[in-house]
């Protein structure tokens, strides 16, 4: 098990002048990498502050769960010459 975490800042850029403009979203995340044989599974939980551009949410905080699944790379250590 390998814990990790970090900070993120994200910004949506409108593709036209008439599109809704949004403020940046900022927050942090924590997770852990778990090894199951030849597969790594990384559950993650993020908490972000985000003003609703369309006013459809009642709060400015969002919780974003996530899971990444990836095959492990074979890391062979070759002896020196």
CA proximity to 50, closest of 8, 14, 16: 8
Which residue is associated with the tokens 């010459």? 81
Edge-to-edge strand list for the sheet holding 39-49? 2-10, 25-36, 39-49, 61-71
Q: What is the pLDDT of residues 23-68, one digit of tens each?
A: 899 999 999 999 998 999 999 999 999 888 777 888 889 999 999 9
DSSP annotation of 15 reads: S
Return d(Cα 27, Cα 8) in angstroms, integer. 6
pLDDT score of 73: 73
pLDDT score of 75: 60
Instruction: Choose between 76 and 47: higher pLDDT.
Output: 47
- Residue 13 predicted with pLDDT over 70: yes
- Residue 74 predicted with pLDDT over 70: no
Tell me the torsion sign for CA atoms 46, 26, 54, 56. Answer: positive
Phi-psi region of 12 (alpha: psi -120 to 50; beta: other; left: phi over 0): beta
pLDDT score of 79: 65
pLDDT score of 22: 81
């Amino acid at each position: 098990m390998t814990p990790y975490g970090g900070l993120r800042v994200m910004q949506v850029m409108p593709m036209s002048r008439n599109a809704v403009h949004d403020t940046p979203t900022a927050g942090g995340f924590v997770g852990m990498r778990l090894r199951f044989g030849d597969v790594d599974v990384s559950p993650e939980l993020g908490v972000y502050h985000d003003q609703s551009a369309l006013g459809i949410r009642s709060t400015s905080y969002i919780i974003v769960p996530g899971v990444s699944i990836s095959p492990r790379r074979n890391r062979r250590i070759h002896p020196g010459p």
